[in-house]
Amino acid sequence: MRSSWLLLPALAIEALAVPYEEYILAPSSRDLIPASVRQVNGSVTNAAALTSSAGETTFNGVSSVTYDFGLNIAGIVSVDVASASAESAFIGVAFTESSLWISNEACDATQDAGLDTPLWFPVGQGAGVYTVDKKYNRGAFRYLTVISNTTATVSLNSLHINYTAAPTQDLRAYKGYFHSNDELINRIWYAGAYTLQLCSIDPTSGDALVWLGVITSSDNITLPQTDTWWSNYTITNGSSTLVDGAKRDRLVWPGDMSIALESVAVSTADLYSIRTALESLYALQKADGRLPYAGKPFTDIVSYTYHLHSLIGAASYYEYTGDRAWLSRYWGQYKKGVQWALSSVDQTGLANITASADWLRFGMGAHNIEANAILYYVLNDAISLAQTLNDSSNIRNWSTTAAGIKSAANALLWDESSGLYTDNETTTLHPQDGNSWAVKANLTLSANQSAVISSALAARWGPYGAPAPEAGTTVSPFIGGFELQAHYLAGQPDVALDLLRLQWGFMLDDPRMTNSSFIEGYSTDGSLVYAPYRNTPRVSHAHGWSTGPTSALTIYAAGLHLTGPAGVTWLFKPQPGNLTQVEAGFETRLGAFQSIISRSSTGEYQDLTFTTPNGTSGSVELGNVSGKLVSDQGVTVRLVGGKASELQGGKWKLESI
């Protein structure tokens, strides 16, 4: 777990010019036009004109053109109409993230059934620019089909998207970077970062959920019958916030943030958008301490695990920002949240879960391993935070309870013959979530037990990735993100890299994907059906919870671990696996954390350099390496058993003795 959190010295940061900017997918302008023509239907003259600033595209009667923006984007559509031959003329636009749902009759979906309505411009009213209302901001699409539905002849001068994602960011001014000798791994890191930019939205453009409970998954709707989507609900305070998905739900979901927060922190460092999201959850806390399943306007539902994720969010926010004033402000609410969670712990030592709501897995109940591993993780966070804030009142109780969870989980839920924990005491199902979390939370009793879990999880992979049997035939890139962390924590970086290439490689490069952002879930057979939804067009192709690789690569492969707030203490522990080159960096308010790793094909380090901010201190774990570390201040420290501690911040380099 984390070592204790200390007081922060106040230091100025120097701007870091970000290397490898060429990998960033975010556009350099917020004014976008289509990149190419995907397909034409009917009689259209010069369809390609809308992909450049020259010429007109003319629709001759009923016809349509599908444009491709080359990557998933977001925003408000405008068409500049040159002429229309009849007053009854209309131009419609239909959006989709995946090529699977390209249509000249509907968009992909945001509701539990059916498809979303296209947007229509009454272009027969005359020449000029027509722009959709702000509430029709489409949060994610790669393809846009422009439709003429009458016999009129309509000419367009241009089609523009006002790109609205990440409203407070300078889109290409990342604070973090990553590079290795493996191009697929590099592209995955940047697609994760870009996915999170799409998921950062203007808080006044959340999903209004007008049809929640009205259009349900048992409806058989083929084409949209009514106006089906509005992005017009104010979900948080402030001018930007982080939501689960860009197309939908466009709501604050605490579980999703447990992955998204760290990947934001090591890339754009837009922790402002995370703060507004967290605050909106804490604003909904009940008098008994319970935190919500999701932010407004979602229905109030009890979820034990998502409650815990809001607590993790606060601890992680403090870890990356070191914002002690913020932590103090929320500390009373945080403690009430911990107490609410502890009220489920029974005489066995484990929490007995009675709320089934989780990440849309089934069977969340009883002495569930995932819930208990997360609770164990939260209690260790809570103890560190209490030490930081000098509030010792609960530390003994929390420590005793944590120890009780650990021994009971291993006594009641560990299945020696499978090398995995069972989901609860009355099942033989071995979940991906609980086993990944058990390793992440250090619920295991030994390093060997963690390695056994890592190998047992890897042995179950199919051709498209790691299965989550607790959710049927699902591949969950959310839980897969925790599995990645588990392989690194179990000391098996090559297993993590194999999972990255297999699962996120598929998610990035399959032609049905956006090839730029990560889908929320799919099936073990590679179909883009996410089992919890009957309505497949509803699946989000830009989901923050699927971005686990971005932080995993920076933290584990490149070895840049923060162990105290904003990195006032740190651990440099690179786990490059079979990568021969790794270079990464990110910033906190204390300054830059960077590393450069270069190895021969047999694994010897040729260059191993890392930089941490002045005024910080930390330690190094290099495994089976001998030699000495030399700082740019001329300090030399000999490695003992591959380790060194009490190093001051600065630039350090490994040298042979």
Ligand X SMILES: *[C@@H]1O[C@H](CO)[C@@H](O)[C@H](O)[C@H]1NC(C)=O
- Of 23, 233, 340, 482, the residue at the interface with ligand X (CB under 6 A) is 233
Q: Are 538 and 110 in contact (CB under 8 A)?
A: yes
Contact 30, 636 (CB under 8 A): no
CB of 657 to ligand X, least distance (A): 26
Stretch that binds ligand X, among 256-264, 423-431, 522-530, 547-555 (CB under 6 A): 423-431
Question: Cα(first)–Cα(last) distance of the chain, in Å?
Answer: 32
Q: Which of residues 605-624 bind ligand X (CB under 6 A)?
A: 614
3-state secondary structure 62-94: CEEEEEEEEEEEEEEEEEEEEEECCCCCCEEEE
Q: Give the β-pairing of 474-475 and 414-415.
A: unpaired
Q: Which of 45, 204, 394, 442 binds ligand X (CB under 6 A)?
A: 442
In the bound complex, what is the minimum distance in angstroms from residue 450's beta carbon to ligand X? 9
- Judged by beta carbon, residue 309 or residue 519, the one nearer ligand X is 309
Rounded CA-CA distance 236/233 in Å is 9
By the rule CB under 6 A, 365 interacts with ligand X: yes
Q: In angstroms, rounded to a whole number, what is the distance separating the alpha carbons of residues 514 and 444?
A: 38
d(CA 39, CA 614): 56
Whose Cβ is closer to ligand X: residue 35's or residue 62's? 62
Q: Which of 138, 175, 367, 599 binds ligand X (CB under 6 A)?
A: 367
Cβ closer to ligand X: 519 or 556?
556
Q: How far is it, in rounded angstroms, from Cα 351 to Cα 190?
A: 38
Contacts of 54 (CB under 8 A, 6+ apart): none
Residue closer to ligand X by CB (options 80, 498) is: 498
Query: Is residue 220 a contact point for ligand X (CB under 6 A)?
Result: yes
Q: At a CB cut-off of 8 Å and minimum separation 6, what does 610 contact?
A: 559, 560, 572, 593, 594, 595, 596, 620, 651, 652
587 binds ligand X (CB under 6 A): no
State whether residue 483 is helix, strand or coil: helix
Spell out, one character per residue from 44 to 83, where the chain touches ligand X: x when CB under 6 A holds, - when not: ----------------------------------------
Q: Which is nearer to ligand X, 319 or 423 (CB)?
A: 423
**Which residue, 150 or 523, is less far from ligand X as judged by CB?**
150
Q: Which of 226, 397, 578, 645 binds ligand X (CB under 6 A)?
A: 578
CA–CA distance, 463 with 370 (Å, rounded to integer): 25
Query: Cis before residue 297, ω within 30 degrees of 0?
Result: yes
Query: Within 145-184, which residues bind ligand X (CB under 6 A)?
Result: 149-150, 162
Of the candidates 51, 72, 104, 575, which one interacts with ligand X according to CB under 6 A?
104
Asked if 366 touches ligand X (CB under 6 A), the answer is yes
Q: Angle at Cα 347 formed by Cα 402 and Cα 308, nearest 5°?
A: 45
**Binding residue for ligand X, selected from 58, 155, 424, 575, defined by CB under 6 A:** 424
Q: Which of 55, 61, 363, 526 binds ligand X (CB under 6 A)?
A: 363
Q: Of 250, 257, 197, 240, nearest to 71 (Cα)?
A: 197
With binding defined as CB under 6 A, does residue 423 bind ligand X? yes
Q: Three-class SS string for 167-186? A: CCCCCCCCCCEEEECCHHHH
- What is the distance between the alpha carbons of residues 414 and 443, in angstroms, rounded to a whole number? 11
Nearest 5°: the CA angle 445, 450, 452 is: 115
**Stretch of 188-196, 420-428, 448-456, 550-558 contacting ligand X, by CB under 6 A:** 420-428
The closest alpha carbon to 366, from 404, 412, 411, belongs to 412
Residue 319 interacts with ligand X (CB under 6 A): yes or no? no
Applying CB under 6 A, does 86 fall inside the site for ligand X? no
Is residue 116 part of the contact set for ligand X (CB under 6 A)?
A: no
**Shortest Å, Cβ 11 to ligand X:** 8
521-540 binders of ligand X (CB under 6 A): none
Least Å from the CB of residue 46 to ligand X: 19
Least distance from C-beta 482 to ligand X, angstroms?
16
User: Does the footprint of ligand X cover residue 280 (CB under 6 A)?
Assistant: yes
The answer to whether 232 contacts ligand X (rule: CB under 6 A) is: yes
Distance CA 352, CA 310 (A): 19
Sign of torsion, CA 466 469 473 475?
Answer: negative
- 4: its two tokens: 């204790």
The C-alpha angle with vertex 555 and arms to 378 and 447, in degrees rounded to 5, equals 65
Binding to ligand X (CB under 6 A) within 452-491 occurs at 470
- Give the SS3 label for residue 265: helix
Interface residue with ligand X among 283, 301, 459, 635 (CB under 6 A) is 283
Minimum distance from CB of 625 to ligand X (Å)? 19
Specify burial of residue 642 (Cβ count, 10 A radius: 0-12, 13-18, 19+).
Answer: middle
> Considering the rule CB under 6 A, would residue 445 count as an interface residue with ligand X?
yes
The residue with its CB nearest to ligand X is 365
Q: Smallest distance from the beta carbon of 315 to ligand X, in angstroms?
A: 15
What is the spatial distance between Cα 246 and Cα 108, in angstroms, rounded to a whole number?
13
Stretch of 275-283, 313-321, 532-540, 581-589 contacting ligand X, by CB under 6 A: 275-283
Query: Cβ distance 529 to 461 under 8 Å?
Result: no
Q: Which of 328, 343, 354, 397 binds ligand X (CB under 6 A)?
A: 354
Q: Which stretch binds ligand X (CB under 6 A): 189-197, 218-226, 459-467, 546-554?
A: 218-226
Contact indicator for 412, 367 with CB cutoff of 8 Å: yes
Q: Shortest distance, CB of residue 78 to ligand X, whole angstroms?
A: 7
Rule CB under 6 A: is residue 390 a binding residue for ligand X? yes
From the CB of 218, what's the least distance to ligand X, in Å?
5
Interface with ligand X includes 352 (CB under 6 A)?
Answer: yes
Total number of residues binding ligand X (CB under 6 A)?
43
**Which residues contribute to the site for ligand X (CB under 6 A)?**
1, 14, 31, 41, 90, 104, 120, 135, 149-150, 162, 208, 218-220, 230, 232-233, 236-237, 279-280, 283, 352, 354, 363, 365-367, 390, 423-424, 426-427, 429, 442, 445, 470, 498, 578, 580, 591, 614
